[in-house]
Structure 1
Amino acid sequence: MIISYKQDDGTVEELSTDDLTAREAADIETAMGGDQWQRIEALLNLQDPTALRAVIWIFRRREQVDLKFEDFDVPGWRRRLKARITRAEIEDALNNTMLQAISTKAEDTGIDLLIPHLRKLAQDPADVDVALDGLGKGHLVRRRQESQH
């Protein structure tokens, strides 16, 4: 997951949760009251301010070792912080949806329902189409485009 942090000067810093160490992830879990990492990822998907702040804090703590979570804040967080998912995360979500739906033979429906959500969260919305093609579900994109014309 990529956390974008818009600086005061307008530049955007992008921090990837893939760059966290296991200890840093555990420190985020502790700072978040003991939540497991899967829950924190879900909160990041929901743009939760505490989860977003926790990720920024842990990266800042690399340079300021004594920086405490309760002392760290991000003024104007709504306009400055945003969590986005990577292509690998999009592929994982689509694969999981497909695996869950195979037994019901409704994978196209499940994936079709997931596509708008993935596009909204994607760092690059075009990654959704690439992931669908890779999964052999590119026809869902073409079908949606045809129905919009």
Structure 2
Amino acid sequence: MIISFTRDDGTVEEVTTNELSAREAAAIEHAMGGTQWQRVEGLLRLQDPTALLAVLWSFRKREQPDLKFDDFDVPNWKRRLKAGTERSEIEDLFDNVIVQALGKSEDAQIDLMVPALKKGAHNPADVDDALEAVGKGHLVKHQTTLTD
């Protein structure tokens, strides 16, 4: 997951859970009351403020080792913090779904999940690219615009 943090000056900082060490992930779990990592990832997809804050806090601790989770906060978090699915996560999901869909010779399952994936993706175009990469490019909805 990519966590985007909009600073006061409007610039956006992005951190990815893929760059966390095992100890950092464990510290996030601990800060969240012993929540298992799989649940943390699910909470990030739901834009949970504690999960978002915990991931950003873990990156801040790299430069401020004494920073305590209880002392870390982001005012206006709803406007400033957002989690988005990375392309590698989208591809992994498609790989799993495609195996199931190929067994049934149907694309409906994939087609149904595309809008939700685009909504949750850090970059919605990654969903189309992932479809292309797994051989399902025919499911990409190409939008055409009329010009005068």
TM-score past 0.5 threshold: yes
Partner of 2:135: 136
AA in 1 matched with 2:30: T
What CA deviation, in whole Å up to 9, does each residue of 1:12-41 have, x standing for no partner?
Answer: 001111111110001101111111111111
Q: 1:19, 1:57 → 2: CA distance?
A: 14
The aligned runs of 1:55-94 (5 Å cut-off) are 55-94=55-94
Partner of 2:116: 117
Which structure carries more helix by proportion? 1
Please state how far the C-alpha of 1:101 moved relative to its aligned partner: 4.0
Give 3-state SS (helix, strand or coil) of 1:40's partner. Answer: helix
Classify the secondary structure of the residue corresponding to 2:3. Answer: strand
Displacement, 1:100?
3.9
Give the deviation of 1:111 after TM superposition: 1.0
The alignment's TM-score, normalised by the length of structure 1, stands at 0.89
8 Å CA contact retained: 1:86, 1:122: yes
Label 1:107 to 1:68 Cα distance change in 2 as closer, same or farther (>3 A). farther
Secondary structure of residue in 1 paired with 2:4? strand
**How much identity, in percent, do the aligned residues show?**
64
Q: Output the CA distance in 1 between the equivalents of 2:80 and 2:105.
A: 39
Aligned length: 145
Which segment drifts farther, 9-18 or 90-99? 90-99
